[in-house]
Chain A
């Protein structure tokens, strides 16, 4: 535990623990979604994690052609 906090930081470890707690909560109660696909076990967790990674990946790839010099419009 101490090793994890040292390596990963207090806030990051807290978020990790919260993630685990919310997964356990799903096992305790019955969670259902607005659509049937969401009823899959831990679906929101997977969806949230993957979405964030996809957004990051697309964002980074867009940098090459959307990102210009700061004075681009002043030239």
Chain B
């Protein structure tokens, strides 16, 4: 029996009422739902709710030191999403966002893999409506690919869960062995949602196609849910260090050449996930704190950057660097908030990114992983280049685009200011932030070496960009499509399969023609010979042919019978 209501579930059930409420009441109602859901977090750690269906036990509400920071930030993000999307009159997106947020929160509190699977799929089926909300041909196609891949991830998870149940008798959501088959299946399921290298195409394909409020919500939940799952099930799995290092590294180059600024942010998201994956792979208390802190801070500053670009998209109708520029004088508050997000993601001291990323870098240094350490340091300079400078510079400064517009709606500004304030507060008061992390450790990010080293790295990287731009070495942004791993299933596989299917179709036709020709020949043969010899004294027709065929089959049957019996 349910003893207490799991967080998130109230948001999913409550979302069903949203279409029937007038606009203002709807916004207040959604806030209340989130606060009621958050109240369940006060119950403390432990298993709070279980249900039993057909002798299978589902742990639907379990909380511990790892779930708490994710639950807190997911609730904060849900509130910010409601404020940011308050101008939207269409109830479809509000229902999708509320149930999507609720599903992600419920997933974090799942105590077994079958419960996790239910919410895992729920996040996919609710979030796809945010991509469809753009109502463009591109978004419809993208949403279709998105849901296919998300469901595929769910199938891997279900297969892993069933295999685990058959081997151990339960599907408890715990630490898994990567060397077991079920462990590998679950690892792939999480890896798809965490946008691992070559499995990341869906992220850059779908997020920029969503509505301006949809992308903000999407950037928060799906990938960070995967990070939570990795932290819970695969902490200390060494292969994650290699995968994470690759993730931090290669998206930088794609982000540099990408023209769509929201797509640049998705590459940046991929790169930031890499930092978290590396930390989970290290698996020490400091590193796990680093991964969780980074996920927490990242939801805020990446959400803020997506909010800024969403506001630009809402007002101007495009997010292409080649078409934007000079918007600072029309959208100064949006620009300042975006700059705060950019400074935070670049990990400048006194901003959230610095206090989170320092934990990961220190963990790497302590474990002596020098090569990976420098890969991440290189990636940090890359983050400054594509997210710290490129995003605000090309949208609000660069050249005069000639676009005249007005500041973002008030609700968007409020959401951006709150997110900016949180980025700064976390950066200024890290000790309060560190208290909610899973492990209690003593760590001081603000020492002379950390601060001066980071400031030198970032200011000189910024200076390099300035030199490239000032001396006109930096090439102009162009309207283009940058090939990513989704090219494999959008171009390469159809490119191989379609001619192959054509060839199979041709062969099939030839075989059909041959069979028809053979039967006609047999028919003619029997007709001619039997008529000539007056066997039946009538023209051999279809019925005769069937009799002959049955006779041949009977002969074959007798032949086989004799051989085997």
Which residues of A are interface residues toward B (Cβ below 8 A)? 8-9, 12, 15-16, 18-19, 22-23, 25-26, 29-35, 37-38, 42-56, 58-60, 62-63, 65-73
Contact = CB atoms under 8 A, between A and B. Distances in A.
B362 interface: yes
A31 B385 CA distance: 25
B452 A59 contact: no
Contacts of A33: 365, 449, 453
B410 interface: no
Given A49-B463, A66-B483, A68-B483, A55 B256 contact: yes
A40 to B, nearest CB: 11
B461 A48 contact: yes
Given A47-B457, A55-B381, A62-B257, A69 B481 contact: yes
A48 B481 contact: no
Nearest to A68: B481
A29 B382 contact: no
Contact of A59 (B256, B381, B461): B256
Nearest to A56: B468
Contacts of B480: 67-70
Contact of B257 (A8, A67, A71): A67
Nearest to A18: B459
23 contacts: A8-B470, A29-B448, A30-B448, A33-B365, A34-B361, A34-B365, A34-B366, A44-B456, A44-B460, A45-B459, A45-B460, A47-B381, A47-B457, A51-B378, A51-B381, A52-B468, A54-B378, A55-B252, A56-B473, A68-B480, A68-B482, A70-B480, A72-B481
B4 interface: no
Contacts of B465: 52, 56
Given A51-B461, A52-B384, A73-B490, 5 more contacts: A33-B453, A34-B366, A45-B456, A49-B460, A56-B464
A62 B456 CA distance: 28
Contacts of A46: 460
Give 5 nearest A-B pairs by CB, closest first: A34-B365, A59-B256, A51-B381, A52-B464, A48-B457
Interface centre among A16, A32, A45, A58 (most CB of B within 10 A): A45
Contacts of B378: 47, 51, 54-55
B562 interface: no
Interface residues of B, number: 49
A55 B501 CA distance: 42
B394 to A, nearest CB: 14
B475 A22 contact: no
Interface of B: 252-254, 256-257, 361-362, 364-366, 370, 373-374, 377-378, 381-382, 384-385, 448-449, 452-466, 468, 470, 473-475, 478-483, 490-491
A3 to B, nearest CB: 15
A59 B253 contact: yes
Contacts of B454: 44
A55 B456 contact: no
| Chain A interface main SS type | helix
Contacts of B449: 30-33
A48 B383 CA distance: 11
A48 B470 contact: no
Contact of A12 (B466, B478, B479): B466
A43 B474 CA distance: 25
A38 B361 CA distance: 13
A26 B463 CA distance: 18
A66 B454 CA distance: 32
B452 A66 contact: no
B287 to A, nearest CB: 13
Contact of B464 (A25, A48, A60, A72): A48
A14 B420 CA distance: 24
B475 A48 contact: no
Contacts of B461: 48-49, 51-52
Contact of B491 (A16, A38, A66, A73): A73
Given A45-B457, A47-B381, A55-B381, A15 B462 contact: yes
Contacts of B490: 73
A54 B463 CA distance: 14
Given A8-B470, A45-B457, A35 B491 contact: no
A67 B258 CA distance: 8
Nearest to B256: A59
Contacts of A30: 448-449
B447 to A, nearest CB: 9
Nearest to A63: B257
B400 to A, nearest CB: 15
A35 B463 contact: no
A35 B384 contact: no
A35 B370 contact: yes
A71 B480 CA distance: 8
B256 A15 contact: no
A22 B459 contact: yes
A21 to B, nearest CB: 9
Nearest to B137: A74
Contact of B377 (A42, A47, A53, A73): A47
Nearest to B363: A34
Contacts of A51: 377-378, 381-382, 461
B325 to A, nearest CB: 15
A44 B457 contact: yes
Nearest to B486: A73
A43 B39 CA distance: 49
B456 A15 contact: no
A28 B463 CA distance: 22
A63 B258 CA distance: 9
Contacts of B252: 55, 59
